[in-house]
Copies of this chain bind each other. A is one copy, B any other.
Amino acid sequence: MPARRAAARADPPRARLEVEERREQLVALGMELFSQRTYDEVSIDELAQEAGISKGLLYHYFPTKRDFYIATVREAAQQLLERTATPEGMDPLERLRAGLDAYVDYVGQHGKPYAALLRSGVGADEEVTKIVDATRAAFAARLVEAAPAGAHGPLVPIALRGWVGFVESATLEWLEQKKKVDPVALRTMLMKALVDVVASASGC
């Protein structure tokens, strides 16, 4: 690796920053394009054109279209987790409500890639599946933390994971119905489902 290290040293810090910034700009652009159309519908030519750079330069940042797509999925998952994060001191039910509002809002804004991801069109990709699974696991971990003290027993993790699937399927149906149901009504139902199912799984 000495060659690589020498190359890194040779790179002035400003240039490295520019590479990082440009990469982020490209990912932001990709997220926008994939928000409107699916993976198959967006071509590398179009990506390069929209970014105002050559195809060769785009390949310099992302060796393949798949690499580029995975970077946008990773960024979207990160954003979803950040936007739905709530302050630790908050009341658990308030946290849940705020987190779900942010989730429904995010899904409403990024309906197309969200549906494509969960309906496993491109989601088949092993790397993408890993990102989706890690995101689900992060949500489940938050739920476990927020669960009331009385929530225990072997059925509780089954109920929590089931509820994550409930939220995914319900929001997909909501998108297919063109979001005609008010997001607050949807969130209220999602929230009540969690409370009920945890109570039922805990046997209380």
Q: Which residues of A contact B (CB under 8 A)?
A: 119-121, 123-125, 129, 154-155, 157-159, 161-170, 172-174, 177, 180-181, 185-186, 189-190, 192-193, 196-197, 200-201
Q: What residues on B are CB-neighbors of A186 within 8 Å?
A: 155, 158
- Other A-B contacts than A155-B189, A165-B166, 19 sampled, CB-CB below 8 A, are A120-B123, A154-B180, A155-B181, A155-B185, A157-B173, A158-B173, A158-B174, A158-B177, A158-B189, A159-B189, A162-B167, A162-B170, A163-B166, A165-B168, A165-B172, A166-B197, A189-B201, A192-B196, A196-B200
A193:B162 contact, CB within 8 angstroms? yes
* Assembly CA distance A159 to B186 (angstroms): 9
Provide the residues of chain B in CB contact with A166, threshold 8 Å.
162-163, 165-166, 169, 193, 197
**Interface contact A173-B161, CB-CB below 8 Å:** yes
- In the complex, the chain B residue whose C-beta lies closest to that of A129 is B120
CA–CA, A170 and B162, complex, Å:
4
Question: Are B154 and A161 in contact, with the CB atoms below 8 A?
Answer: no
29 of the cross-chain contacts (CB-CB < 8 Å) are: A119-B129, A120-B120, A120-B124, A123-B124, A124-B125, A154-B180, A155-B181, A157-B177, A158-B170, A158-B181, A158-B189, A159-B170, A159-B193, A162-B166, A162-B169, A162-B170, A162-B173, A162-B190, A162-B193, A164-B169, A165-B168, A166-B166, A168-B169, A189-B197, A192-B196, A192-B197, A193-B197, A193-B200, A196-B196
